[in-house]
Homo-oligomer: A and B are copies of this chain.
Amino acid sequence: MSISPTTPTATAIAEIDLFSGLGERERTDLARLAVPRSVEKGELVFLEGDEAEGFYAVVEGSVRIYKAAPSGREHVLHVFGPGEAFGEVAVFEGKRFPASAQALTPSSVFYFPRAGFHRLISTDPDLALSMLALLSGRLRQFVRKIEELTLKDVPARLAAHLLLLRSAQNTDTLTLDLPKSQMALYLGTVPETLSRILAKLSESGLIEVSGKTVSILDADRLAEVAEEGL
Contacts and interface: CB of A to CB of B under 8 A. Distances in A.
Interface residues of A, number: 46
Contact of A77 (B121, B146, B228): B146
User: DSSP class of A's interface residues: helix, strand, loop or mixed?
Assistant: helix
Contacts of A99: 143, 147
Interface string A116-128: 0000011111101
Nearest to A89: B136
B125 A228 contact: no
A67 B125 contact: no
Nearest to A124: B125
A82 to B, nearest CB: 22
A147 B93 contact: no
B77 A136 contact: no
Contacts of A146: 67, 75, 77, 142, 145-146, 149
Interface string A186-225: 0010000000000000000000000000000000000000
A125 B128 CA distance: 7
A95 B143 CA distance: 14
A91 B152 CA distance: 28
Given A73-B151, A77-B146, A151-B71, A135 B137 contact: no
A73 B150 CA distance: 9
A73 B229 CA distance: 13
Interface string A137-161: 1111011111101111000000000
A135 B134 CA distance: 10
A121 B125 contact: yes
Contacts of A149: 146, 149-150, 188
A147 B139 CA distance: 15
Interface of A: 67, 69-71, 73-75, 77, 89, 91-93, 95, 98-99, 121-126, 128-129, 131-133, 135-140, 142-147, 149-152, 188, 227-229
